[in-house]
Amino acid sequence: MPMNLFTFKGGVKPPTHKTQSVGLPIAVAPLPSRLVVPLHQSIGGTPQPVVAAGDKVLKGQLVGEADGWISAAVHAPTSGTVLEVGPHVQPHPSGLDAPCVVIAPDGQDRWIERQPFDHAAASPDETRRHLQRSGVVGLGGAVFPTHGKLTPAKSVAMAELVINGAECEPFITCDDLLMRERADDVVRGIGIFRDLLQPQKVLIGIEDNKPQAAAAMRAAVAAAGEDFAVIEVPTLYPAGGAKQLIRVLTGKEVPAAKRSTDLGVQCFNVATAYTAWRAIAHGEPVVSRLVTVAGNVRQARNYEVPIGAPMDEVLALAGPQPDTDGIVMGGPMMGFLVPDSRAPVVKATNCLIAHSARLFPPKAPEMPCIRCGACAEVCPHELQPFELYWFARAKNFGKTQEYALFDCIECGCCSYVCPSRIPLVHYFRFAKSEIWAREREKNAADEAKARYEFKQWRDEREKAEKAERLAKAAANQVSRKAAEATGEAPADAEKAAKTAAIQAAMERAKAQREAAQPKNTESLTPEQQQATAEIEARRAAAHLGDSEQP
Amino acid sequence: MEILLAIAIMALGAVVLGAALGFASVKFKVEGDPLVDKIEAILPQTQCGQCGYPGCKPYAEAIAKGECDINRCPPGGTEGVQRLADLLGREVKPLDAEEKPKAVAVIDENTCIGCTLCIQACPVDAIVGAAKQMHTIIAQQCTGCELCLPPCPVECISMQPIGENIENWKWKHPILAIKPVPPAVHAKEAA
């Protein structure tokens, strides 16, 4: 199908380094010594652990239950024993800990009972819930819970469903291999997304440096009898950014602070479609993912790795060269050096690159900005990185927001071309996290203020109520005294009524006392009666009357 | 004659403009003091009283009146002083107290006797409990003001600093990292 393509502004063409890892088919990584499964693996709420140390789990068993709608469940990647639920190091630039479920594999890799989900019979809501329960999240790197993106916008008709197979970042080939080897399942997964969103068109975008993947996808689309368009887009980093790919395929530009759904476009990664199909047709939750292991290794390759496998063990499969001095998670443009190589592979881990000084020579020191404007020319979002840089550096965060800091996708094009080697993206990340921290502090302060003001208001109210009570009591006292002083005329009737009431109460009490006779004085024998009478006589003699009759 | 006319015109102008200003000052009267609100927005709202005033608003009012210095809010930190100085055009002064890391109060629930004294002291109602029942602190609402510490008769409340975690971790300001050069390199250069 011939189609006019659009272009986005900017972009760079870094060396792709993709050929090294596409030579061999996907291999299944062996089970590691232990699996550390982080509970928080998607955007949104942190799932609550539903297992405890000592529990036996099966492959695919739920270990963390989704917390809220924007949150996705987490499952055991293999069968074994839960060793602990506790904090462990995360694949995060901070190198900090977060709660994880640690599982010792039993080596049997036994699946829990898998129930295929009949999505044709189920309502769209049930399908979305099933995907949430299966832990399906965006595997392109942002790990947004997929079910949250599968509700069509109410205001705009869904025009295009864009499937992202562009994979523009250097070194990474996991989507390429997935499309080559498992295109049928990917296409069926896209079919599910199509059924839920009801778009007019489905467009599958693949960069033109992956002809085999495109051919496999075309064949799979034809075999499935679908009318999805497989479109090869020019190879230009970052064509795989969601907004860039939407621009290239549909010509629509997503405005700042809006989402593509507002324009009737939704975008999913091919691997997400694949896992969605596995979850629906086979009842398999997301317990593994494809990871490209490349860089400074003897044999770069794609592995199907269980979630939670330690990165160093995964890297060891590809045989890292002796001068490897670290692991980069993600690609060289957007990835980061993992602070601790024992960190686990998570749903967001699409690539592990063995880092060495030979492969990534250390950058020469940062030089002053010469205002050449090269960064603005390559920015795919048409921002002005040099201006943002000045403001971020000066901590003038208000200005950075005026210059649309939050439209920056951190693709790294600006840092890549900067002749002064300024780590621009680092400055932008710094500014973003500072702004978020301030926002949090501001919200906390506002809430504290509201609560403080409420407490003050409540204290005032209580004080006023107490004062009112006291005033009333005092007023009563005064009026009574005044009444006593000025002749008892008005109080007489009141007093008489009170006396009468007291009198009546005393009468009642007396009647009750008399009614309640001791129960052991009936049906006494004459001897007993006589003995009692004698005792009574003695008591009378000793002046000890009944207490009731003094 | 002309000079009298000129004076009359000027006098008339003065009367008209004066009336307009007087009308505007009544019509567009601003309730409250906008400066106090601006100052209060900078203060951290811990309501801790460490500044010597019974809450953030009284402190903001005192600053606005020029009665006290801008460096008396330890929870606001040096950055708070900086922002107040920017707002008011005053000079930045070092904080007159030690800057502490952010913390939340934690009640040792085994020791708590349920006296409700801390509940009464908490300025933001962040402590739940009832007489002779165990009390506990809602950590999310706790501002770390430490006002609950002195009233506790059994000293079961302690302040625990909020460490860095993945939720509140921030990218650091990019700076040139100075790395130590191994001595071998020095030796080579010298040779």
Q: Which of B126, B169, B176 sits opposite A96 (nearest CB)?
A: B169
Closest-approach residue (CA) in chain B for A439: B168
- Does the pLDDT of residue B45 top 60, yes or no? yes
Using CA atoms in the order A41, A45, A46, A47, what is the torsion angle rounded to 10 degrees? -90
Q: How far is A100 from chain B (nearest CA, A)?
A: 13
Interface membership of B179 toward A (CB under 8 Å): no
Interface membership of B110 toward A (CB under 8 Å): no
DSSP-assigned letters across all residues of B50-105: TTSSSSHHHHHHHHHHT-S-S---TTTHHHHHHHHHHHHTPPP---SSPPPPPEEE
Read off the pLDDT of residues A410-431 as tens digits, 9 standing for 90 and up: 999 999 999 999 999 999 999 9
Q: Is the peptide bond before A2 cis (omega within 30 degrees of 0)?
A: no
- Does the pLDDT of residue A531 top 80, yes or no? yes
Between positions 16 and 55 of B, the ones with CB within 8 A of A are 40, 43-47, 55
pLDDT of res. B191: 46
Does CATH place domain A19-104+119-355 in 3.40.50.300? no
Read off the pLDDT of residues A219-244 as tens digits, 9 standing for 90 and up: 999 999 999 999 999 999 999 999 99
Q: How far is B147 from chain A (nearest CA, A)?
A: 13
Interface probe for A, chosen from B43, B46, B124 (most Cβ of A below 10 Å), is: B124
Please give the share of chain A, as a percent, with pLDDT higher than 90: 76
Q: Which of A40, A395, A451 sits opposite B124 (nearest CB)?
A: A451
Please indicate whether, in this complex, the C-beta atoms of A445 and B170 are within 8 angstroms of each other. no
The mean pLDDT of chain A is 91
Residue type, A7: T
Q: Measured between alpha carbons, how far is A212 from A153 in angstroms, rounded to an integer? A: 35
Q: How far is B173 from chain A (nearest CA, A)?
A: 6
Per-residue pLDDT, averaged over A516-540, amounts to 80
DSSP-assigned letters across all residues of A284-321: --S-EEEEEEEESBSS-EEEEEETT-BHHHHHHHT-B-
Closest-approach residue (CA) in chain A for B144: A448
Domain ranges in chain A are: 19-104+119-355, 367-484
Q: Measured between alpha carbons, how far is A22 from A388 in angstroms, rounded to an integer? A: 38
Q: Which domains does chain B have, with CATH numbers?
A: 34-88 (1.10.15.40), 101-164 (3.30.70.20)
Angle at A274 between CA A268 and CA A278, to 5 degrees: 135
Within 8 A of B38 by CB-CB distance, chain A residues are none
Q: Measured between alpha carbons, how far is A217 from A181 in angstroms, rounded to an integer? A: 10
Question: The tokens of A519 are what?
Answer: 């129960």
Residue A56 three-state SS: strand
pLDDT of res. B182: 63
Read off the pLDDT of residues A340-365 as tens digits, 9 standing for 90 and up: 999 999 999 999 999 999 999 988 88
Instruction: Please count the helices (runs of H) and the strands (runs of E) in chain A.
Output: 13, 17
Read off the pLDDT of residues A292-329 as tens digits, 9 standing for 90 and up: 999 999 999 999 999 999 999 999 999 999 999 999 99
Read off the pLDDT of residues A91-128 as tens digits, 9 standing for 90 and up: 999 989 999 999 999 999 999 999 899 988 889 999 99
Task: Please say whether the dihedral angle defined by the alpha carbons of residues A359, A363, A364 and A370, taken in this order, is positive or negative.
Answer: positive
3-state SS, A337-388, equals ECCCCCCECCCCCCEEEEECCCCCCCCCCCCCCCCCCHHHHHCCCCCCHHHH
Please give the share of chain A, as a percent, with pLDDT higher than 70: 96
- Does the pLDDT of residue A375 top 90, yes or no? yes
For residues B42 and B84, is the Cβ–Cβ distance under 8 A?
A: yes
Q: Which of A441, A446, A455 sits opposite B123 (nearest CB)?
A: A455
pLDDT of res. A459: 92
Q: Measured between alpha carbons, how far is A461 from A465 in angstroms, rounded to an integer? A: 6
Q: Predicted ipTM? A: 0.79
